[in-house]
């Protein structure tokens, strides 16, 4: 295994991460926007997915 | 400016919790103090990008992480059933809901996920190690425009 040695600690604070990651073009993350998304993705979280969750160990029902 | 402070967390989680209650026959409670804590931590971890305005996939990833980490959703004492992964389901749903609408910037307008993969993702969120940055990348890949 390669051993890295040196007296000076790496200066992570100098990295320009904003040049690496894509920035947003101005969209806001808003309450109304998220509510719209929740409604639009509702089908994905019901039906077959819900049946699979119920059949898994992640679901417990009171059997009494 | 993309900020988490605009979002009314109680209002956002209501339809998610209502739907989970209806589908699984559970009774849920949400700690609003922990929602405020969630917002604070997500805001802080998003700053690591040093972006003025991180895109929707990054915001979704960090919120998803802190929701499954802080677990503000609980079962009421009167609940006759329990979805043990309720916070993980809500976290993933919230993340996908955020990404779903930003189709012209790092997200597709609509995307379909195989229910089996969705279930495995929930299980992984519950039982495996994750980081906010890894989740953000997962959302970027999932919702990103396909290269021809």
Q: What is the least distance, in Å, from the CA of A31 to any CA of chain B? A: 5
pLDDT at A5: 52
- At A54, the pLDDT band (50, 70, 90 cuts) reads very high
Phi-psi region of A26 (alpha: psi -120 to 50; beta: other; left: phi over 0): left
Domain ranges for chain A: 30-55
Q: B89-145 pLDDT, tens per residue?
A: 999 999 999 888 775 554 555 667 899 999 999 999 999 999 999 999 998 888 776
pTM confidence score: 0.84
Q: What angle do the packed helices A31-40 and B9-24 form, to 10 degrees?
A: 20
CB atoms within 10 A of CB A38: 22
Residue, of B78 and B51, whose pLDDT is higher: B78
Q: B40-69 pLDDT, tens per residue?
A: 899 899 888 887 778 888 889 999 999 999
Answer yes or no: is pLDDT of A4 > 90.
no
**Inter-chain residue contact B98 with A36, CB threshold 8 Å:** no
Ramachandran angles phi, psi of B11, nearest 5° = -65, -35
Question: Nearest CB to A59: which of B2, B11, B84?
Answer: B84
Question: Nearest CB to A17: which of B15, B49, B93?
Answer: B49
Interface of B with A in 47-106 (CB under 8 A): 48-56, 58-59, 80-85, 89, 93-94, 96-102, 104-106
């Amino acid at each position: 295994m390669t051993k890295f040695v040196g007296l000076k600690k790496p200066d992570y604070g100098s990295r320009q991460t904003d040049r690496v990651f894509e920035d947003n073009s101005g969209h806001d993350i808003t309450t109304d926007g998220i509510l719209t998304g929740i409604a639009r993705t509702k089908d994905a979280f019901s039906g077959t997915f819900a049946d699979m969750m119920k059949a898994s160990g992640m679901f417990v029902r009171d059997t009494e | 400016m993309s900020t988490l402070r605009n979002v009314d967390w109680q209002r956002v989680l209501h339809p998610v919790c209502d739907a989970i209650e209806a589908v699984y026959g559970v009774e849920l409670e949400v700690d609003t103090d922990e929602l405020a804590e969630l917002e604070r931590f997500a805001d802080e971890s998003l700053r690591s990008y040093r972006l003025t305005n991180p895109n929707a996939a990054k915001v979704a990833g960090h919120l998803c992480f802190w929701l499954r980490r802080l677990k503000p959703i609980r079962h009421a004492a009167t609940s006759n059933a329990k979805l043990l992964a309720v916070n993980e389901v809500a976290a993933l749903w919230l993340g996908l809901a955020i990404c779903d609408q930003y189709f012209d910037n790092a997200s597709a307008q609509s995307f379909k996920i195989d229910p089996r993969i969705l279930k495995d993702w929930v299980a992984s969120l519950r039982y495996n190690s994750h980081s906010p940055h890894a989740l953000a990348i997962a959302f970027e890949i999932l919702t990103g425009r396909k290269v021809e």
